[in-house]
Chain A
Amino acid sequence: MTGIWLMAGVTLREAVRRKILWTALIAGALLLAVFAVAMHLQVVEFQGRAMSPFVRYQVEAGMMMIGLYTCDLLAVVLTILTSIDTIAGEIGSGTIHAIATKPLARWQILVGKFLGFLVMIAGFVAVTFAATIWVAHATTGVLPEHPFRGFALIVFECAIALALTFLFGTWFSTLTSGVLALGLQGVAFMGGWLEQVSGFSQSVHIVTLGVASSLVMPGESLWRRAAYEMQTQLAGSLSFSPFANVSIPSGLAVGYAAAYFAVVLGIAIWHFERRDL
């Protein structure tokens, strides 16, 4: 097991030393600043209106969800961009040769790298989520219902993106892996929104298409479940915001995502164990 932790440690250090993480954090900080200004302007605007505190709270909670969704998107993109080179690139450059000839099984290399990236991504999500929630609370007083459930689901969503990136990395070049990973993320994004739209349109075909997309890549459904866990209970039923959940992924959908993750990571390990380096 020492090998796994050594690989996780060196991967984490590598990820932290890469410019992309700090660029993403700067981007996150800028978005947070915009978010803070928007929240402040909203508060000022509401002060001039006669509005029920209850409705006002729901609107402000909806705005907080926009901020959290932005953090979620940033985290997924960061996951793919930081990890895309770690398997494919090291195989291509031959860097992996000096590691794969050490007394640790290949699955330990892959799992170690996976854990290293996951810790980095979890840290990123924790920081950006905490900052967004703090800004929202400081300006408006709103708080998410279940922030830790939301956090766990977002990290899980990133873990799926990471597993897919690793899977593609064991088969294809860095560039091809990146295109495939981002493409699948696009499918997930579309699937999530189709399911949302279906809530308004009641179209069976759109529902089917959305569910099929979510089955191909269930990442976005995890965000929607996270949003459901974090938003106020009334927000979803009001349906006045695209960030209020109309179609809520069930526990079964989360279970499917867990099975999907296990299969993807399992195939990645299986192929990495067998392939020539």
Chain B
Amino acid sequence: MTTEHFAIDARQLRKEFPGHVAVRDLTLTVPRGEIFGFLGPNGAGKSTSIKMLLGLVRPTAGSATVLGAPLGDVAIRRRIGFLPEDFRFYDWLTATELVRLHGRLAGMSPAQLRTRVPDVIEMVGLSQHRDRPLRGFSKGMLQRIGLAQAVVHEPDLVFLDEPTSGLDPVGRRMVRDVLRAERARGATVLLNSHLLSEIEVTCDRVAFIKDGEMVATRALGGAWQEGVRVVMHARGVSDDAMAGIARWTGSARLEGEELRFGVESEAVVADIVRHLVGAGADVYRVVPERASLEDVFLELVGEDRGL
């Protein structure tokens, strides 16, 4: 695929601040039309990565294109939406004024905004509060109106930095609905979160960030084909048979009659069974389990990360 197929194409992006490296190596491609999750513990470099992609922070090294344009391109931002973490704005504006201002800044005409602004405020559930100043809004309401300003101009790429922080379960569901609507419209969404459940429910793919470095990506949802764990009950598994499994997996562990291993894809499980039977083992139970996102996360990032 060429750059044109990717909403984001980052190559070895790095950001150093005095005294520490925030992002070591961000190499990442996000195909258009995906909801892509950015998952990692606090301080892993997720927000800095997003800021680099948005041109808010200058990379120390590396390069990237966003919607085919190089970092820092001003015109392309007309097609980009952004909800910053802990969205804050002039609290003397009303909800309608805020969304209208952002729509204007994004290049929409007053005529377009006349119909679009009420619609998008309705979408985030704030119609009853549209003429109230933001200073009276709760944190959750600010997140909602922040989401509205991020999508008011129907961008092709939306960056959402911890969009559900401060939201109750109803609000979180609203965010999921908005994300699905954006995907249905054809937009690409990059969702930055430290909440595993949010990523698992909404994203097509997820990237794991650890210590400023992307350590893995996984497909999620219906396209799940990676990270399969298998529990197998077998008798007479010889040492040679175990050694042969190394062709498919490096994590095989035999405890009594219980053989556990993880593989990239369910497709290879049948090959392993054939191998074991061929080596003289009796296989009488095979249970493939999809590893939960939490399992994968803990395996990749480690347990004690302050999540």
Contacts and interface: CB of A to CB of B under 8 A. Distances in A.
Interface of A: 2-3, 6, 10, 14, 17, 93-95, 97-105, 274, 276-277
Contacts of A97: 51, 56, 82, 84
A14 B92 CA distance: 8
Contact of A95 (B51, B55, B85, B88): B88
Contact of A98 (B57, B75, B87, B104): B87
B86 A94 contact: yes
B102 A17 contact: no
Given A94-B84, A97-B56, A277-B56, A103 B77 contact: yes
Contacts of A14: 90, 92
A33 B82 CA distance: 51
B78 interface: yes
Contacts of A104: 74, 105
A274 B102 CA distance: 23
B149 interface: yes
Interface in B74-128: 74-78, 80, 82, 84-90, 92, 101-102, 104-107
A98 B51 contact: no
A101 B104 contact: no
Given A2-B104, A95-B89, A101-B82, 19 more contacts: A3-B105, A6-B105, A10-B101, A14-B90, A95-B88, A97-B84, A98-B84, A98-B87, A98-B89, A100-B55, A100-B56, A101-B77, A102-B102, A102-B105, A103-B75, A103-B77, A105-B74, A274-B58, A277-B51
A272 to B, nearest CB: 12
A104 B101 CA distance: 13
Interface of B: 51, 54-58, 74-78, 80, 82, 84-90, 92, 101-102, 104-107, 146, 149
Contacts of B74: 103-105
B118 to A, nearest CB: 20
B86 A98 contact: no
Nearest to A276: B57
A101 B150 CA distance: 10
Contacts of A98: 82, 84, 87, 89, 102, 146, 149
Contacts of A6: 101, 104-105
A277 to B, nearest CB: 4
